[in-house]
Chains A and B, each alone.
Chain A
């Protein structure tokens, strides 16, 4: 039977300096997969996913073969590494462990940030590449499709994806708690730090349309404004800019607070006390804590944002336990399906053989009926005979095999037949009457006349 396997490296086993040595660029994936299929006879199907947190091969080994060793060597050699050098950081899973791993990865239960949404898209993309390269097949296809279904179930049935998981999305979430829809809201970015750029981008993505940047250095303000599609305004107009802003993101390198109580007294009055969210992500802080006590001013510093992140991640971890149960259940169902695939060729052959016999007998009966007009009685006899003949022919071979067997083999065959056909043999009637009549020629002649 074909066996699913996983060979890979992830953030759990290696630092980025090691992971990047085995990483593949998007445009390399297709050729790498084709080469793997061509060079490794053990591999029947393969998919390669390469992200910043993992490089993994999901594959199906040919019946009776173990492909993991060959794939380990292949990965190392393709990236110019000695297999022994990366042996410790590479892991592999086979069979049900591999299925569970794929389901966990798709559901973001194996991600650095539990419940993150990116990995599912990356897996879908990798599956598309494998399809394009012609290296994915029915087993891998079924496994991946199921994995996407499991991921969807996990996201909808648990709270694994709830709550912002990084500082900049928390800033957006907090602004949303005050304003709801951010479309039409004005954002002021004070300073030109990397964090404020990220937060401003998130606000833009969530509907904020008017983003103004101000900095002591006009050049830096211009550069950042261009990067986030905002407008640079002079630092000297800070009070006016604050009065016009609904959300302020501050991350300057100032040693003393620049958003002071005295300044905000003017600002809140000029705003006619409309609600205002101030996100201070600078260290040392840009805003005096006391402005957070002013009416309708909501001030959050970097510690507050991180507190929310930790809280959300803790909630996600709790949801992860429920999600693992879903993965276990779904993996069990997939394994059941996979095992059933081993008997599919036998089922197919059995059906084909029976269909051939049936077609031949039906054709004979139709020929008889077509030769001349028959009375209803004659037609009935032809059909009855067809059914008898069909039953006899279908059962001829198994009956003969049963009669020919001796000793334990005979008992075993009899038991299998009983189980397959749901029979309950009666002891006293063993040889008293023939269970199956051999094909008789007489009715055929009679019917043909």
Chain B
């Protein structure tokens, strides 16, 4: 047990982590420069995102060699979530111009990575059974996919606002980003992918908690339920009532906010002990 505590507390960030931090910061800055009008620098900005993604992946791999699993704790899972977010952004950028999204996603990924590596690990390791690891892994992937859908929804709202209010001199209009319909469709597809994964994670989490005999009155449990309800409601509203566009984007962001709140509570509890 002592060895496990030591491992949680003493695995320092790898050099790849620092490289990823530098690349994330440089990519965010470069994307801002692109957004300001230097379109020619876009390939360079995306190359920096790619480098950040690779360095982040190497850091996760290196931690694996130190027996630190990406789903070992919520703290590790947050780092892995940032990795999924960056990978998804890179994939989507191959098809669409998502400069505005990158300006938001890169700093968010950077904050998540730093929070995952540099915040205090807490005084005790979590009791992780196989069930617990599967739960955290699936929840991380599910929330990661929701995060991507939320990023697209946020871009949708920014672009839609400029188009609706006829702000033709707004940066979001001048940047000629992804078309609204594509953003809406892609966000919907991602939620269809993320929702079953998150549902299974939630069920396994409930079983795990009941096996541990923990109380269910912690705020993260109802919040996780709220997340599930938000995305379930969104899928139903889209199918049955034809919800799309702004309304769907707002509900996606609300659902993701609930998911983020769950992660934050976990993280704070670990830090505070």
Contact = CB atoms under 8 A, between A and B. Distances in A.
Nearest to A273: B242
A187 to B, nearest CB: 15
9 contacts: A176-B179, A177-B159, A178-B181, A180-B179, A180-B182, A275-B180, A296-B245, A298-B163, A300-B166
Given A292-B164, A311-B168, A311-B169, A177 B245 contact: no
B244 A296 contact: yes
Given A295-B247, A304-B166, A275 B242 contact: no
B246 interface: yes
Interface in A261-295: 272-275, 292-293, 295
A307 interface: yes
Nearest to A269: B242
B197 to A, nearest CB: 27
B118 to A, nearest CB: 41
Contacts of A296: 244-246
Contacts of B184: 275
A307 B164 contact: no
B180 A177 contact: yes
A334 interface: no
Interface in B132-179: 159, 163-164, 166, 168-169, 173, 176, 178-179
B178 to A, nearest CB: 7
A235 interface: no
Contacts of B247: 295
B252 to A, nearest CB: 16
Please give me the 10 A-B residue pairs with the lowest Cβ-Cβ distance, nearest first.
Answer: A272-B242, A180-B179, A296-B245, A273-B242, A178-B180, A179-B181, A180-B182, A308-B168, A304-B166, A275-B181
Contacts of A174: 163
Interface in B35-83: 39
B45 to A, nearest CB: 18
Interface in B95-123: none
Given A178-B181, A180-B181, A295 B163 contact: no
A274 B247 CA distance: 12
Contacts of B246: 295-296
Interface in A179-229: 179-181
Nearest to A176: B179
Contacts of B245: 273, 275, 295-296
Interface string B219-260: 000000000000000000000001111110000000000000
Interface string A147-183: 0000000000001000000000000001011111100
B179 A179 contact: yes
Contacts of B168: 304, 307-308, 311
Given A178-B181, A274-B244, 8 more contacts: A159-B39, A176-B179, A177-B159, A179-B179, A180-B181, A272-B244, A273-B242, A295-B247
B108 to A, nearest CB: 25
Contact of A298 (B164, B173, B244): B164
Nearest to B180: A178
Contacts of A274: 242, 244
Interface in B177-218: 178-182, 184
Contacts of A180: 178-179, 181-182
B231 to A, nearest CB: 19
Nearest to A303: B166
A298 B159 CA distance: 12
A220 B93 CA distance: 46
Contacts of A275: 180-181, 184, 244-245
A307 B169 CA distance: 10
